[in-house]
Chains A and B, each alone.
Chain A
Amino acid sequence: MIPIVVLSLGLAVLGMTARADAQTVRIYTHNDEKEMEAFVADLRAATGLDVQVLRMSSNELRARVVAEKGNIGADLQWGMPNSHALLAKREGLLEPYRSREWDAVPGQFKDAEGHWYGWSYWFNAIAVNTEILQKKGLPRPRSWADLLDPRWKGEIVMPNPGTSGTAYLVVATLMQLMGPERAWDYLTRLDRNVAEYTKSGSAPAEQVGRGQYALAITWDQAVITRKAKGYPLELIIPEEGVGFDLDSIAIFRGARNLAAARKVVDYVGSERGMRLFAQHRSKVTRPGIAALVPFDPKLFPYDAARAGEEQDRIMLEWKTRFQK
């Protein structure tokens, strides 16, 4: 008995003392699990770094980074909404770095002082389950306005803007597109048709792909990857245009392993990295590399900085109106 006690206490102590070493880089990400596994494998091969990843939804990470200010639990974040990068820069959370690898990327996709770089962008999209549409005789929606038709009642699923960057992008885009008053009126009428608000931005595409609901408000990749897997989905860009987000990478101030973090930024801007990302992403920012989306969606000229500033106010209003 006593040897067991000693042994297990020893194990406990041993487990507690394990720590990260100099070749280790710690990354926060909101990137999809599957694609991140491929990215990390290639990053390891290209740089020889030991990579540790924590995946959470973008708002969860934003909260975490703010709470951890001064001792952020990662060296950098690879995969963050541009609005969060803009806010983080203003709050002094980011460490600037000028990477030569990013020279080829146009200025509109990166910070002039090197605080953040945009490596790909994605956009909101609507997805419908073609089998259910056919079975129930529902029309293919063409615009945001079409979703207010009472025939969609109980058939729409969208993410919760409190937890999902995808959903907040929808809400913020509508605010800028219609003006606050008409946008709230739109969301109120939409709410009557919405069956469920999910925590993550990809979940609606999964649920509609599985046939739980007929229509998802989501983002492009959530639809394209699942369509490729055989889900009966069709991607629709509403004719008013959709919000888009420049997915960014940024090093945190106070990074424990700055040299390794810079290597990651270099890798993400490199031709090698971008070619890999192009296999998983709608659009990448390095010119001349074709990514998954062959067409150019109608993008709404969305002001990310303003959306970031208005987030608290919009969310309070949203919860007051729609939280059950």
Chain B
Amino acid sequence: MSTAVAVSPRCRTGWAEVARRAAREPGTLLVAVGLGLLLLLFVLWPIGAVLVQSFRTRTGEFTLRNYGDFFAHRFYYRALLNSLILAAATTVVVVTLGLAFALLTTRTRSPLRRPLRWVALLPLVAPPFLFSLSLIILGGRRGLVAQALGLDVNIKGWPGVLIAQAVAFLPLAYLVIENVLVSLSGTLEDAAADLGADPWTTLRTITVPLALPGLVKAGLLVFILSLADFGNPMLIGGGRGFLATDAYLLLIGEQNAPMASVLAVFLLVPALGAFAVHHLFLRGRSFTTITGMPAVARRQELGPVLRGLVLGVCLAAALVVAATFALVVLGAFTEVLLIRNRFTLEHFRSPIGWAALQTSLRMSLGAAALSAGLGIVLAYLVTRRQLPGRAVLELAALLGLAVPGTVMGIGYILLFNTPPLVLTGTLALLILNTAFREVSVGMEAGISKLHQLDPSLEEASRGLGAGLLTTFWRVVLPLLGSAFAAGFVYTFMVGMITVSAVVFLVAPGMNLAAVYILNLAETGALGLACALSVVLIAVVVGCLGLLRLLARRTGLVLGGA
């Protein structure tokens, strides 16, 4: 070959250097390639399959008609509009609430701040659509509120979905914002106060601007979650079309895979946009105000008016959260809530429900182990080993979380139902789907942990003659224990309550508790749905407690809540 490719000398040595290093560590390279292939198969390929399917007719020929149809029929593009409007509204409401709770817990000494914190975090352990379930009982036409006040109200439609989502996504927004507020040193707020600013001015000109990256991050997170939400629009949307639910109904209800894929693409684009904004502009950026310099700051408190306002907002939100949980418990032990209010345990005798719960447990434990394990190996490869394409590995892993579950679910159905890889109807597919959607949680935790650890520990180990594998196993892994635990716990929790992707993948004898609850709630079997929800929540809380205990015994620190 005489036509040499023009490559700059620097670049060539760069690649040569990388290649040489990789050749010195064939094992590392092998693991990296293996992980890359897995991510390709279980994250990128399903997304690609959805994209390709959206350009096909039902018989498989290439076409642009599907996108034409999308904009030609109001019932398609209306779903896109509805989803965007809902996501924007939910984001505003949830970030406001999250900020109020974060201010309450970090900037006041209110005796209520600890109980309110727990109430705000409570929705984490419940399936996200649980709140629709109780809102229907509470605010449905001739529901509790309507009966008590003698009004003709119907919460179904916009108000219902908005409230249900606000409650469901509050904990994540709150945790992100609280995290930022805690890490802001009080010195600047002190200075503002000393210079005579009243609490409101301090909040407006110092605290909020400094916390802005955190607020935007929380907002983007909520935006993606709201777009991808499946259960709430289904249960309490009052028949209004939303992308995630409509894509499901098109594929499952009308066998229309091409149009379902088109809707999924319109779900994917804004979600990826939010992800890109977050990844490109916000990651790693914060207004650091805590430095190595000792700074003794009084924690600034909100003034009485502001404090009252924040407390009022929090109390109102907490009341809604507490009421929804209370109603679910009531519904579980009542024959027919509001019609025949007699105590019963009948709803807990559902063999199908118990079987589904067992499957959920097996699935979540499997997915948690797989995702946490892969997550920390990924973290190690990305931060510590000079590998070609490691940024791509990291990005692929992050995509799993950013891509709405509906898109993943459709992609999995398109791919794994035909040879060569027939996996539909197996527990393995549910495990793989959940694990690869959450793999970045363990990875991110591992990366931030590794950034805190000096590589000299590993170098010492290698200097003393230990091989790479031994070093990873005996030095890195024990240090990454907390990252593994974070990935494990988070994936486990999500696995127990997730619906949007797995709803496409459940099979006979392989139904999941959260999917079954949604099913029961939709047909109106509210008692059974409430009872299984109560059991599911108890199991999640119990398992979390057990893991905490285990972690304490082994000296681990669990990240997050």
* A196:B339 contact, CB within 8 angstroms: no
* A320:B75 contact, CB within 8 angstroms: yes
Contacts of A8 in B (CB 8 A): 365, 368-369, 372-373, 488
Q: How many residues of B contact A (CB 8 A)?
A: 72
Q: Is B370 an interface residue (CB 8 A)?
A: yes
Q: Which secondary structure dominates chain A's binding surface?
A: mixed
Contacts of A289 in B (CB 8 A): none
The minimal Cβ–Cβ distance linking A318 to chain B, given in whole angstroms, is 10
Task: Encode contact with B along A19-56: 1 for CB under 8 Å, 0 otherwise.
Answer: 11000101110000100110000000000000011111
* A54:B511 contact, CB within 8 angstroms: yes
* B362:A15 contact, CB within 8 angstroms: yes
Q: How far is the CA of A17 from the CA of B478 in the complex (A)?
A: 29
* B365:A11 contact, CB within 8 angstroms: yes
Q: Is B140 an interface residue (CB 8 A)?
A: yes
Closest residue to A28 on the B side, CB-wise?
A: B508
Task: Encode contact with B along A207-234: 1 for CB under 8 Å, 0 otherwise.
Answer: 1011111000000000000000111000
Q: Which of B160-219 contact A (CB under 8 A)?
A: none
Q: Which of B238-256 contact A (CB under 8 A)?
A: 238-241, 249, 251-255
Partner of A60, one of B253, B427, B484, B524: B253
Top 6 A-B pairs, shortest CB-CB distance: A206-B524, A52-B509, A8-B369, A323-B75, A54-B508, A63-B255
Knowing A5-B477, A70-B418, say if A319 contacts B550 (CB, 8 Å).
no
Q: How far is the CA of A96 from the CA of B410 in the complex (A)?
A: 32
* A162:B431 contact, CB within 8 angstroms: no
* B520:A33 contact, CB within 8 angstroms: yes
Knowing A59-B254, A203-B522, A230-B340, say if A68 contacts B424 (CB, 8 Å).
yes
* B554:A4 contact, CB within 8 angstroms: yes
Q: Which of B449-502 contact A (CB under 8 A)?
A: 473, 477-478, 481, 484, 488
Q: How far is the CA of A324 from the CA of B156 in the complex (A)?
A: 13
Q: Is B41 an interface residue (CB 8 A)?
A: no
Q: How far is the CA of A37 from the CA of B141 in the complex (A)?
A: 31
Knowing A63-B252, A209-B339, A315-B254, say if A16 contacts B156 (CB, 8 Å).
no
Q: Is B417 an interface residue (CB 8 A)?
A: yes
Q: How far is the CA of A213 from the CA of B238 in the complex (A)?
A: 13
Q: Which of B340, B522, B524, B528 has the most chain A CB atoms inside 10 A of its CB?
A: B524
* B509:A26 contact, CB within 8 angstroms: yes
Contacts of A63 in B (CB 8 A): 251-255
* B366:A206 contact, CB within 8 angstroms: no
Partner of B507, one of A9, A54, A199, A319: A54
The minimal Cβ–Cβ distance linking A275 to chain B, given in whole angstroms, is 22
Q: Is B336 an interface residue (CB 8 A)?
A: yes
* B524:A202 contact, CB within 8 angstroms: yes
Q: How far is the CA of A207 from the CA of B526 in the complex (A)?
A: 11
Residues of B whose CB lies within 8 Å of any CB of A are 73-75, 78, 140-143, 154, 156, 234, 238-241, 249, 251-255, 257, 336, 338-340, 350-352, 362-363, 365-370, 372-373, 413, 417-418, 422, 424-428, 431, 473, 477-478, 481, 484, 488, 506-511, 519-520, 522-526, 528, 550, 554, 556
Q: How far is the CA of A265 from the CA of B238 in the complex (A)?
A: 39
The minimal Cβ–Cβ distance linking A68 to chain B, given in whole angstroms, is 6
Residues of A whose CB lies within 8 Å of any CB of B are 1-2, 4-5, 8-9, 11-12, 15-20, 24, 26-28, 33, 36-37, 52-57, 59-60, 62-64, 66-68, 70-71, 73-74, 160, 162-163, 195-200, 202-203, 205-207, 209-213, 229-231, 315, 319-320, 323-324
* A197:B508 contact, CB within 8 angstroms: no
Knowing A5-B477, A66-B255, A71-B418, say if A196 contacts B509 (CB, 8 Å).
no
Q: How far is the CA of A52 from the CA of B356 in the complex (A)?
A: 11
Q: How far is the CA of A62 from the CA of B252 in the complex (A)?
A: 8
Q: How far is the CA of A163 from the CA of B253 in the complex (A)?
A: 5
* B478:A320 contact, CB within 8 angstroms: no
* A162:B253 contact, CB within 8 angstroms: yes
The minimal Cβ–Cβ distance linking B165 to chain A, given in whole angstroms, is 18
Knowing A16-B428, A324-B240, say if A74 contacts B508 (CB, 8 Å).
yes
Q: How far is the CA of A211 from the CA of B506 in the complex (A)?
A: 33
Contacts of A163 in B (CB 8 A): 249, 253
The minimal Cβ–Cβ distance linking A219 to chain B, given in whole angstroms, is 12
The minimal Cβ–Cβ distance linking A281 to chain B, given in whole angstroms, is 17
Q: Would you list 25 pairs from A and B whose C-beta atoms are within 8 A, ordered by A residue?
A: A1-B481, A1-B554, A2-B478, A11-B369, A12-B367, A17-B428, A26-B507, A33-B352, A33-B523, A36-B352, A37-B351, A54-B509, A54-B511, A63-B253, A67-B257, A68-B417, A73-B508, A162-B249, A199-B249, A199-B522, A209-B339, A211-B142, A212-B141, A231-B339, A320-B74
Contacts of A73 in B (CB 8 A): 424-425, 507-508
Q: How far is the CA of A211 from the CA of B75 in the complex (A)?
A: 30
Q: How far is the CA of A60 from the CA of B98 in the complex (A)?
A: 38
Knowing A71-B418, A230-B336, A324-B239, say if A1 contacts B477 (CB, 8 Å).
yes
Contacts of A16 in B (CB 8 A): 366, 426-428, 431
* A320:B73 contact, CB within 8 angstroms: yes
Contacts of B78 in A (CB 8 A): 323-324
Contacts of B340 in A (CB 8 A): 229-230
* A210:B253 contact, CB within 8 angstroms: no
The minimal Cβ–Cβ distance linking B466 to chain A, given in whole angstroms, is 15
* B336:A229 contact, CB within 8 angstroms: yes
Contacts of B239 in A (CB 8 A): 160, 196-198, 324
Q: Which of B141, B351, B413, B550 has the most chain A CB atoms inside 10 A of its CB?
A: B141
Contacts of A160 in B (CB 8 A): 239
The minimal Cβ–Cβ distance linking A160 to chain B, given in whole angstroms, is 7
Closest residue to A32 on the B side, CB-wise?
A: B523
Q: How far is the CA of A315 from the CA of B75 in the complex (A)?
A: 12
